[in-house]
Amino acid sequence: AEFQRDPLLDFTGKVALITGAASGFGALLAEALGRRGARLVLGDINEDGLHAVVDKLTAQDIEVQAVTCDVSSETDCAAMVALARENFGGLDIAVNNAGIAPPQVHFEEVDEETFDRQHSVNVKGVFFGMKHQLKLMRGQKHGIILNVSSMAGIGGAPKAAAYAGAKHSVVGLTRTAAVEYARHNVRVNAICPFFTLTPMVAGLTPPPGASVEQLHGLLSAGCPMKRLGEPEEVVNAMVMLCSPALTYVTGQTLAVDGGVSA
């Protein structure tokens, strides 16, 4: 295909690890990179969902290794990186995408369990992943990491305090690793999507008495484009940030938000 000759979008032979690959952005990104030639290491806590994605990719002759994992476990994160090293000989791209949705409650109603769970998956999951990915990439003297933050990682997010705290941490981890590992030829960026119609957003509960359509209307109202994002729109930006051609871009957070942050 034409895009396979374009160095901006050529992932031929690249090894790409993606967490949260059973659904939403992760599943679509796996297909997008795989179709452009990448060999994949996929992880998710949802075993059945992951198997369905693997079957779909294998049917397209995409090379894939998959592992059921919980990103809040350092052992599991290390195992994913080891899988890439042992089966594919290294790791070119790592996308720390797995995450859980915010419970829609006011700040003062956030209990400790909710706060801890948000940070366990959405922060520790990214931190442990990065820690082991960075170690391998430093040794290789090259690598690309993309972390999935959120609009809630660069601005306030009403009724999502614990999620916003966690997603801001993802930006802090991204910037710190970027400056610390730049000398090792490892680039680290983050993507910050606005509400996008993945299963995560489809699963948000509308306020009492409101329909799902009304909820989407409420969410879209704050967006200059007056609509939510489509998963493919976010995944296209993720592919760009994973591109081996973006050699001077590091430590950045890219908002994919229909102009919300403009």
As measured in angstroms, the least distance from the Cβ of 247 to ligand NAI is 25
3-state secondary structure 12-60: CCCEEEEECCCCHHHHHHHHHHHHCCCEEEEEECCHHHHHHHHHHHHCC
Q: Is 193 in the site for ligand NAI (CB under 6 A)?
A: yes
Between strands 39-44 and 15-19, the pairing is parallel
Three-state DSSP at 123 gives helix
Q: Is 26 in the site for ligand NAI (CB under 6 A)?
A: yes
As measured in angstroms, the least distance from the Cβ of 54 to ligand NAI is 13
Is-catalytic flag, 181? no
Q: State which residue, 9 or 123, has the beta carbon closest to ligand NAI.
A: 123
By beta carbon distance, the residue nearest ligand NAI is 24
Q: State which residue, 71 or 134, has the beta carbon closest to ligand NAI.
A: 71
Integer Cα distance of 111 and 164 in angstroms: 15
As measured in angstroms, the least distance from the Cβ of 1 to ligand NAI is 25
Give backbone dihedrals phi and psi of 258, rounded to 5 degrees, phi first: 60, 20
* 104 CB-contact burial (10 Å; exposed 0-12 / middle 13-18 / buried 19+): middle
User: Which of 197, 192, 185, 140 has the alpha carbon at shortest distance from 163?
Assistant: 192
Q: Is 97 in the site for ligand NAI (CB under 6 A)?
A: yes
Of 37-66, binders to ligand NAI (CB under 6 A) are: 44-46, 49
Q: Taking contact as CB under 6 A, which single stretch among the options 31-39, 138-146, 178-186, 197-205 is the one that binds ligand NAI?
A: 197-205
As measured in angstroms, the least distance from the Cβ of 114 to ligand NAI is 14
Q: Is 100 in the site for ligand NAI (CB under 6 A)?
A: yes
Integer Cα distance of 239 and 249 in angstroms: 14
Among the listed residues 34, 99, 143, 165, the single contact to ligand NAI using CB under 6 A: 99
Burial state string for 174-206 with b = 16 or more CB within 10 A and e = fewer than 16: bbebbeebeeeebbbbbbbbbbbbbebbeeeee
Q: Which residues bind ligand NAI (CB under 6 A)?
A: 19-20, 22-26, 44-46, 49, 69-72, 97-100, 121, 125, 148, 150, 193, 195-196, 198-201
Instruction: List the catalytic residues.
Output: 163
